[in-house]
Chains A and B, each alone.
Chain A
Amino acid sequence: MSILVYVEQAAGKIKKTSLEAVSFAFALAQKTGEGSVVAIALGTIDSQELASVGEAGAAKVLHASDERLNAGVIQAHASAVAQAFQAVGASTLILAKSSLGDALAARLAIKLDAGLVSNVVELPRLEGGFVVKRSIYTGKAFADTTITTTKKILAIKKNAVDQKVDGAKAQVEAFAVSIAAADFASKITATERATGEVLLPEADIVVSGGRGMKGPENWGMIEELAHTLGAATGCSKPVSDIGWRPHHEHVGQTGVKVAPTLYIAVGISGAIQHLAGVNSSKCIVVINKDPEAPFFKAADYGIVGDAFEVVPQLTAALKAAQ
């Protein structure tokens, strides 16, 4: 038996979160004593990029290069991954949580008759069943969940394991899929994606601004700080509601939930709904002029001070330290 990992691509590049999923599968295979880790990649990706999946722990990469799969057409991707799962004779499918990953996981759970757990935060425990720890109540709690089916699907959260980088090159094998025309019936007519920036849901460092920034014209200093750190930019709900920043930057309970190594909040008071979106961060820094801002209670480090003075100084100090 082996473990299959769906690796997602964006513009020909395998996503970092998918490489984490490969490393998760590798660690799981070692724990269960199962055979090797096989990855399935869809659409146009060059062979060097595919082979690099091996470094994260996959022995083999199946590649269905059908260019209709370049776009994330949910049903078509689900059919392709199901075929790979059968062909490999896999026991378990691992994938990284994402807009596409979540959609696939759900359909595949039914297609494969596999028990599915999402928001997985660490490797399963194998004593007394297959017990998976997942984040619930938007990060306010965790649940141990026992999967009772033979086949299993785990959709993992960012930072569930450290990504391995010491593996070998993977063997890349062409994989022929046969996908019904009906699976392509839904059409993606346009894709708008921020380019050249670090994407918020996948970022290791996030810098967010709130209403304390006073207006969209002041976002330059947030962006400069983010740029210096190689970070993504985010914002609070009020900021995206009044249109200072686009909706896909809204971090919180009803927006993007992030799990970076470092989260820096500038001029955000820290409403419980915002905290729900950031409570999986490893380290939180809060900059706010109000010492009573509730965010300080959830922070590891804080500076009480005017963002307009502190942020440029922080950027300068980071540049000096580089």
Chain B
Amino acid sequence: MKILVCITHVPDTTSKIQFTANNTKFDPTGVQFIIGPYDDYALARAVELRDQTGGTLTALNVGEAETEPTLRKALAIGADDAIRVNSFPKDSFFVAKQIAQVAKDGGYDLILMGRESIDFNGGMVHGMVGELLGMPSFSPVMKLDLEGTTVKMAREIEGGKEQLEAQLPLIAGCQEPIAEWKIPNMRGIMSARTKPLLVVEPTSQETQAEASSFQLPPAKGSVKLVDKDQVSELVRLLKNEAKVL
């Protein structure tokens, strides 16, 4: 069983988002980068499935050299080796093409990733890779179990979930509660330093929808407080001032 887990290198969820260069570039000043929280769920489940099947687990990231500490963390958590496609991730299509190429070359049985990255939130890469490889793709997957080559999954839908059965190979975009996040232990951190991390160049430069400029939302006005003994005043404000009732 060969498992590929795709990792994004994204600002920590508490980061203040700012842009530079006339709002054309993300400003990384003071920002801590992490494995995407959804990718962390995918990685945790991938480690469990690797241990269960006795297979191998490769972590993949499309990014420039600065993302290597994030990939090393994936190795510390339990991936056996890592691949970095050496390019800025220009758009979902570009990233999907790189992942599809690595997946084709490696012949993976199961490809897991987060349901979406928390920077661009597209949630499109897993489906694109699926279509590029002619494999089924599912997202957001909140449970994934293997029974031979049959994969039993639960996928979240609006207001509930659906239970699914599909055959390997397949791709899943993951979210909680598929597994508990794993925190690397000291042995993992030590061994991650020497685990193989292969750097490959992108095989295609094609893009379809690149972001060209950024904006922050308009500043929020200050809150209007209503006395707790005047609750009907709130109803009046919502009706007549905010006009939301």
**A: which residues have CB within 8 A of B?**
10, 71-72, 74-75, 78, 98-100, 102-107, 109-111, 114-119, 131-132, 135-149, 185-194, 197, 199-202, 205, 229, 247-248, 253-254, 261-262, 272-273, 276, 279, 282-283, 285-286, 296-306, 309-310, 313-314, 317-318, 320-321
Contact = CB atoms under 8 A, between A and B. Distances in A.
B164 A138 contact: no
Given A103-B138, A189-B164, A262-B245, 13 more contacts: A74-B136, A103-B127, A105-B124, A132-B209, A136-B119, A185-B166, A205-B244, A261-B244, A301-B223, A301-B234, A314-B235, A321-B239, A321-B245
Contact of A247 (B137, B155, B162, B176): B176
B169 interface: no
Please name the 3 residue pairs, one residue from A and one from B, whose CB atoms are nearest each other, closest first.
A106-B127, A305-B228, A115-B208
Interface stretch (B11-19, B52-60, B73-81, B196-204): B11-19
B190 interface: no
Contacts of B224: 300-302
Contacts of B166: 185-187
B209 A148 contact: yes
A276 B124 CA distance: 20
B160 A301 contact: no
Interface residues of B, number: 78
A82 to B, nearest CB: 10
A141 B158 contact: no
B1 interface: no
B13 A313 contact: no
A136 B245 CA distance: 29
26 contacts: A72-B162, A75-B136, A99-B140, A102-B127, A103-B139, A116-B209, A136-B121, A137-B17, A143-B120, A143-B214, A145-B91, A145-B212, A149-B208, A186-B166, A186-B167, A191-B160, A191-B163, A201-B158, A247-B176, A279-B217, A301-B237, A301-B238, A302-B223, A302-B224, A303-B227, A310-B231
Interface of B: 11, 13-14, 17, 19, 37-38, 91-93, 96, 118-128, 130-132, 136-140, 142, 155-167, 170, 175-177, 207-217, 220-221, 223-228, 231-232, 234-239, 242, 244-245
A251 B125 CA distance: 23
A193 B92 contact: no
B19 A141 contact: yes
Contacts of A229: 245
A141 B162 contact: no
Contact of A141 (B212, B217, B221): B217
A185 B235 contact: no
B210 A146 contact: yes
B136 A253 contact: no
A242 to B, nearest CB: 12
A250 to B, nearest CB: 9
A148 B208 contact: yes
Q: Chain A's interface: helix, strand, loop or mixed, by majority?
A: mixed
Contact of B17 (A140, A145, A185, A310): A140
A318 to B, nearest CB: 6
Contact of A318 (B132, B139, B162, B235): B235
Contacts of B232: 317, 320-321
Contacts of B14: 272-273
A115 B93 contact: yes
B126 to A, nearest CB: 7
Nearest to A202: B158
Contacts of B11: 137
B217 A106 contact: no
Contact of B156 (A106, A109, A142, A248): A248
Contact of A285 (B13, B167, B234): B234
Contacts of A320: 232
B118 A148 contact: no
Contact of A304 (B13, B38, B225): B225
A146 B182 CA distance: 38
A115 B93 CA distance: 8
Nearest to B225: A302
Contact of A272 (B13, B127, B209, B236): B13
A310 B223 CA distance: 18
B139 A102 contact: yes
B239 A303 contact: no
Contacts of B210: 145-146, 148
A107 B96 CA distance: 11
Given A285-B238, A309-B228, A186 B126 contact: no
